[in-house]
Amino acid sequence: MGDFRRLKAWQEAKRLAILSRDLVRALPRDEVFALGAQWRRAAYSVALNIAEGAAQSSVRQFRRYLEIAKGSLDEIEGVLELVEGLGYHSAAKLEDVRLARTHCARLVIALARTLSR
């Protein structure tokens, strides 16, 4: 499929993982290893599934990896809702991550649709 680094979806997934890092570290100590670890794994999963999918030999396999990445993006949205609801971070503090997550989700969906054609 080519170099995953050229995919805008991967570039935005990488940005999402980087933006998430400091917010995960700023969670309360007892949440860093629970909610924080889940958040970090989901953020990494998005970028890594896009990269692994791009290395697959078939379009069908690549689409499957994109579906997994989309699931991780949905998981991140759930984490962000919990983090805000529990009062660990304000909506303003989460805004850049939410925007990156939404943009990445749109790119992943668009890439999957493009592959389906």
Contact 111, 12 (CB under 8 A): no
Q: What is the pLDDT of residue 1?
A: 66
Q: What is the pLDDT of residue 43?
A: 98
- Phi-psi group of 12: left, alpha or beta (phi > 0 → left; psi -120 to 50 → alpha; rest → beta): alpha
Helices (H), the chain: 8-25, 29-32, 35-54, 59-85, 91-116
pLDDT, tens only, 15-69: 999 999 999 999 999 998 899 999 999 999 999 999 999 999 899 999 999 999 9
Contact 3, 102 (CB under 8 A): no
pLDDT above 80 (res 2) = no
Domain spans in the chain, listed from the N-terminal domain onward? 4-116
Q: What is the pLDDT of residue 97?
A: 98
pTM assigned to the model:
0.94
Q: What is the pLDDT of residue 57?
A: 87
For residue 69, how many other CB atoms are within 10 A of its CB? 30
Q: What are phi and psi of 3, to 5 degrees?
A: -75, 115
The CATH number fitting domain 4-116, selected from 3.30.413.10, 1.20.1440.60, 3.50.50.60, 1.10.10.10? 1.20.1440.60
